[in-house]
Chains A and B, each alone.
Chain A
Amino acid sequence: MAKGVWIITEQRYGNFRKITFELASTARKLADELGEDVCAILLGSGIEGIAGELGKYGVDKVYVADQPIFESYTTDAHAAAIVHLVNEHSPSILLFGASSQGKDLSAHLVGRLETGMATDCTDVKIVDGRLRAIRPMYAGKCFGEVAINTFPQMASLRPNVFPVVESAREAVIVKFDPGISPDQLKTRILEVRKTTNGKADLTEAAIVVSGGRGMKGPENYAVLEELAQLLGATVGASRAAVDAGWRPEADQVGQTGKVVSPDLYIACGISGATQHLAGMGTSKCIVAINKDPDAQIFVAADYGIVDDLFKFVPELTKEIKALIS
């Protein structure tokens, strides 16, 4: 009988990523409803020392493989380690982060474990002892309620959506050796190039300041950069701005770009095409600044400012500067 709620943790350079704590907290909640344990899988090199931190967020047991082969993420090494544990312990539920790594790994495991998965979920619950996941489809234009007919029931959770809840306990740490040899790896990382100069990635940023067609040109993004700098925000763009060549593709928020879910999303000169709304609709607080009072973006906004962004944003920057100092 499949039992237990398991999470696949994510760490980089020996630090857990925030999504890991979101996973642990969510798993704790599900496990309490089921009356089962939360187990975590931690893979990496030189990371054994951080395993205990997971207890703070409700993890009962951590399976750790601390080996050079897990130094950087590869689909094959990580998947093999997880398959090894799943075969041994038959977890009921397996949760991943819907991050770059989590998406690559979890989708591969669907094939390896011959089971099903709900991707990028915004809510999960237990119904009659089974996992029920709510996930955006058509980039959030509608939602699907998904059940998995097989074990493990897999789901990946959208970053920044699930709360981190402390639930202190002493996590039991179990070391394991999945016995993976380097010749099992089909891919090799040749190079890692940093791209964000220390800024949070759009998908992980707590605050996003985005500019669209109303920015009128690439040079005007300096206005947004200044505001973003003050707020510790990351700058995004609409498809119109990316297609015009004003901003790189990696900055695009929307149905054919990134899906973001920050605490605060500030849309500047963005009309609010369905394309765009689909990519930021789950943001917790949305501010829209547009000079067209009929712009669609105001329908999605919590706070709307009908004004010329070039007049308003510098004033906002001034206000926030005053607030911070």
Chain B
Amino acid sequence: MNLVACIKQVPNTDTTIRVKPDGSGIDETGIEWVMNPYDEFGVEEALKTKEKFGGAVTIVSLGPARAINAIRTALAMGADRAFHINDIVFNGADAYMTAKALAAVIKTIPYDIIFCGQRAIDDDSGQVGAILAALLDIPQMTVATKVDVEGNTIKVVRPVEGAELLIESHLPCVVTAHKGLNVPRFASLPGIMKARNKPVEVKDAAALGVSMNAKAQIFRMMPPSARPPGRIISGDDPAAKAKELTKMLREEAKAI
């Protein structure tokens, strides 16, 4: 089975994000970069699917030179080869443009299931997987917490508000991975050694025949507006504090 996992390198979740004074982006100084956690679920599922049915796992990633570290992590987990889309023209690529570039690579290789994270924890757009499915005209199964493949049929579980859906479709398709789908393996030391020799093809915009054409544009970035300082309800008696809080919530915040 031909499995593809699309990954993105993002700041790790503990990172304090500082917006540059001119609002043009975030200050990348000192950031620890990791593979997007949701993409890790996608890579893991691709590897598990390969273990079950045989085949190969191809990693596709769009990002600057540093993204190679996330790609190597995926290869060290057990993926077979990778494409790294790296071109300065893609700086500021929106979800549409990213999907377009990923699709340009994927169209050149055989694919049965394309795994993406359900969203990247940096821009939080959550669009790329579905756009990819639309561009390739194949089914999309988004936010999956369980995947079962049998022959040409695929079933996924997708949590929605207040319910879980069991959805059936066919290959080839795009699956976007959610927390709960699996527990990603760690790269083993031999895996890390092997990853060094696995093929990574670097592609630029010209090689893909894709020109930069972003549809959504970030005008400026801003730090969150500070919440007005809160109030500590002090005292030694829990009952008195509970009374005070209830009063505040009722009369001041009008929240209950």
Residues of A within 8 A of B224 (CB): 136, 140-143, 281
Known: A302-B231, A312-B241, A319-B246. A111 touches B216 (CB 8 A): no
Residues of B within 8 A of A75 (CB): 130, 139-140
Q: Which among B13, B99, B145, B173 is the interface contact of A111 at CB below 8 angstroms?
A: B99
Task: Assess whether A274 is in contact with B16, with CB atoms less than 8 Å apart.
Answer: yes
CB distance from B250 to the nearest CB of A (A): 7
Residues of A within 8 A of B37 (CB): 256
Q: How far is the CA of A196 from the CA of B96 in the complex (A)?
A: 34
Q: Name the residue on A nearest B121 (C-beta).
A: A255
Task: Assess whether B161 is in contact with A201, with CB atoms less than 8 Å apart.
Answer: yes
* In the complex, A164 has a CB within 8 A of chain B: no
- The SS class assigned to the A binding surface is mixed
Known: A146-B217, A186-B169, A204-B161. A305 touches B241 (CB 8 A): yes
Known: A187-B141, A187-B169, A193-B164. A142 touches B230 (CB 8 A): no
Task: Assess whether A191 is in contact with B130, with CB atoms less than 8 Å apart.
Answer: no
Residues of B within 8 A of A150 (CB): 215
Task: Assess whether B227 is in contact with A104, with CB atoms less than 8 Å apart.
Answer: no
Task: Assess whether B230 is in contact with A104, with CB atoms less than 8 Å apart.
Answer: no
* In the complex, B159 has a CB within 8 A of chain A: yes
Task: Assess whether B162 is in contact with A200, with CB atoms less than 8 Å apart.
Answer: yes
CB distance from B73 to the nearest CB of A (A): 17
- Chain A, residues 131-148, CB within 8 Å of chain B (1/0): the string is 010011111111111111
Known: A100-B160, A137-B123, A196-B162. A323 touches B135 (CB 8 A): no
Question: Looking at the complex, which of A46-54, A85-93, A117-125 is the stretch in contact with chain B?
Answer: A117-125
* In the complex, B208 has a CB within 8 A of chain A: no
Task: Assess whether A305 is in contact with B13, with CB atoms less than 8 Å apart.
Answer: no
Q: How far is the CA of A119 from the CA of B222 in the complex (A)?
A: 16
* In the complex, A307 has a CB within 8 A of chain B: yes
* In the complex, B207 has a CB within 8 A of chain A: no
Q: How large is the interface on B (under 10, 10 to 19, 20 to 34, 35 or more residues)?
A: 35 or more
Question: Looking at the complex, which of A63-71, A172-180, A284-292 is the stretch in contact with chain B?
Answer: A284-292
Q: Which among A112, A117, A138 is the interface contact of B95 at CB below 8 angstroms?
A: A117
Known: A142-B222, A323-B250. A111 touches B14 (CB 8 A): no
Q: How far is the CA of A141 from the CA of B11 in the complex (A)?
A: 12
Chain A 284-325 residues near chain B, CB threshold 8 A: 284-288, 293, 298-308, 311-312, 315-316, 318-320, 323
Q: How large is the interface on A (under 10, 10 to 19, 20 to 34, 35 or more residues)?
A: 35 or more
Q: Name the residue on A nearest B250 (C-beta).
A: A323
Q: How far is the CA of A288 from the CA of B141 in the complex (A)?
A: 37
* In the complex, A223 has a CB within 8 A of chain B: no
Residues of B within 8 A of A138 (CB): 11, 15, 17, 26, 121-122, 124
Task: Assess whether B168 is in contact with A187, with CB atoms less than 8 Å apart.
Answer: yes
* In the complex, B223 has a CB within 8 A of chain A: yes
Q: Name the residue on B nearest A104 (C-beta).
A: B142
Q: How far is the CA of A190 from the CA of B167 in the complex (A)?
A: 6
Residues of B within 8 A of A142 (CB): 17, 19, 26, 221-224
Residue numbers of A with Cβ under 8 A of B are 75, 79, 99-101, 103-104, 106-112, 114-120, 132, 135-150, 186-196, 199-201, 203-204, 207, 231, 249-250, 252, 255-257, 263-264, 273-275, 281, 284-288, 293, 298-308, 311-312, 315-316, 318-320, 323
